[in-house]
């Protein structure tokens, strides 16, 4: 892993466009799986949604919308990338943390449990339109995770 710690600057407009929609979608999905959603919706800059599973387990969900993912997942995209800045969540939440990466229209999502990131993910530096010099991401091979089509 390199020493580059550059990250994309916070973009309030993008946040306002995607955060509420992603949180509403994941809450609806989790309820369909018998989760009870924590009613505290105040932004705490930790995980996006806390819930209790049908088995009584406290779970944590982190959501993002990948706006460049439109339609079918391109076969040339061999990994899903999660910003390395999310390491603070991986380090602070002991278990049952899942990342959900939504397609632009939120009709499909990747499901990425924390243990898969820790076991199968690697840290890569990626130049992108937001950070030209390269930002660090967890790269998770798509064959290690699964997609869910949503009708919720």
pLDDT (average), residues 20-49: 88
**Number of C-beta neighbours around residue 68 at 10 A:** 11
State residue 2's pLDDT score.
45
Q: pLDDT class for 40, splitting at 50, 70, 90?
A: confident
Cα distance between residue 107 and residue 133, in whole Å: 32
In this structure, are residues 106 and 25 in contact, taking their beta carbons and an 8 Å threshold?
yes
Give the lowest-confidence range in 32-41, 62-71, 97-106, 142-151: 32-41
Segment 49-91, tens digit of pLDDT: 999 999 999 999 999 999 999 999 999 999 999 999 999 999 9
> Under DSSP, is residue 3 helix (H, G, I), strand (E, B) or coil?
coil
More confident residue, 73 or 5: 73
Q: Is the pLDDT of residue 142 over 80?
A: yes
3-state secondary structure of 72: coil
The pLDDT confidence band at residue 42, using thresholds 50, 70 and 90, is low
> What's the pLDDT band for 4 if we cut at 50, 70, 90?
very low
What's the confidence (pLDDT) of residue 3? 46
State the chain's mean pLDDT as an integer: 89
| Type and span of the H or E element at 88 | helix 87-92
Query: How is residue 18 written in tokens?
Result: 């995607």
Could you state, in order of their start, the residue ranges of all structural domains in the chain? 12-40+54-149
> What is the mean predicted confidence (pLDDT) over 105-109?
97
* Residue 120, token pair as written in the block: 């199968």
Per-position b or e across 69-83, b if 16+ CB within 10 A of its CB: beeeeeeeeebbbbe
Q: What is the pLDDT of residue 1?
A: 43
| DSSP 3-state of 77 | coil
**Section 3-29 average pLDDT:** 82
Contact of 145 with 99, CB cutoff 8 Å: no
Nearest Cα to Cα of residue 121 among 103, 132, 136: 136
Say how far residue 6 (Cα) sits from the centre of its chain. 19
């Amino acid at each position: 892993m390199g020493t580059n710690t550059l990250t994309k600057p916070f973009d309030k407009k993008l946040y306002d466009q995607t955060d509420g929609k992603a949180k509403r979608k994941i809450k609806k999905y989790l309820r369909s799986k018998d989760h009870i959603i924590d009613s505290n919706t105040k932004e705490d800059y930790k995980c996006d949604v806390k819930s209790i599973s049908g088995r009584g387990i406290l779970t944590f969900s982190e959501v993002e919308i990948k706006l460049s993912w439109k339609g079918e997942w391109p076969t040339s995209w061999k990994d899903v990338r999660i910003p390395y800045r999310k390491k603070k969540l991986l380090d602070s939440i002991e278990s049952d943390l899942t990342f959900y990466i939504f397609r632009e229209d939120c009709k499909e999502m990747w499901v990425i449990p924390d243990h898969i990131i820790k076991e199968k993910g690697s840290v890569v530096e990626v130049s992108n339109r937001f950070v030209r010099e390269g930002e660090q991401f967890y790269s998770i091979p798509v064959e290690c995770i699964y997609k869910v089509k949503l009708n919720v």
